[in-house]
Amino acid sequence: MAQRRQFSGVFKAEAAGTAKRLPLFCCILGVLAILADARAQDYYIDPANGGDSNDGSASAPWKSFRNAISYYQPDYRPAGWIELKPGDCVNLMNGVYSEMLHPGEWNKGPTGGGSFVAYFRGRRADKDNPFRIRAYPGHKPIIDPKGQGFGLSVFQ
C-alpha cells in the first residue's frame, strides 16, 4: 500500500517565505539590469573602413559621427543613432574626418543648423564621469572640415 505524505506547516511556511522573497529577488534583478545598461559604452569610428549602418563596435565601427551627434529634433536622427551617456567614449581610428553633418534647425528642417564634422549640444555628464572623444590608442585621426563648415563643436 502506498504511503500518504502530509506536508507539515514548516514546508508551508518555507513556501510562503519563498513567495515573499520572490518579488524582492525580481526587484534586485531589475536594478542589476538597469545598472548593467547604464554602464559606459565604447563606440568606434573609422572613416576608411567603417559604415554608418554598423553598430559602432570595435568590430563594426561607424564611418562618421552621424550616429552620435546632437540633432535638433528626434525625427532628424538616423536609424542607428545613440545618445551618449556619462562615461561613454567615442574612439577615433586613423583617417581624415571631413564628412559634413547637419543637426537641423527649427525653421530650416533636418538639413539646416550649420555644417559640422561633429556637433554636440546639451549633453549632460559630470566632472567625474564625462563623455569622451579620443584617438584610439596608437591612432592619429585628423578632423578636417576642408573649409566647408566646422570641425568639432561642443555646446552646453
CA geometry: angle 21, 26, 31, nearest 5 deg: 125
CA geometry: angle 73, 45, 49, nearest 5 deg: 125
Could you tell me which of 54, 51, 61 has the C-alpha nearest to residue 136? 61
The grid coordinates listed for 51 are 559604415
How far separated are the first and last CA of the chain, in Å rounded? 81
Q: pLDDT tens digits for 50-100?
A: 999 999 999 999 999 999 988 888 888 888 888 888 999 999 999 999 998
H or E stretch including 117?
strand 116-121
Residue ranges per structural domain of the chain: 9-39, 40-156
72-81, 119-128, 136-145 — which one is most confidently predicted on average? 136-145
Could you tell me which of 89, 82, 97, 80 has the C-alpha nearest to residue 137? 89
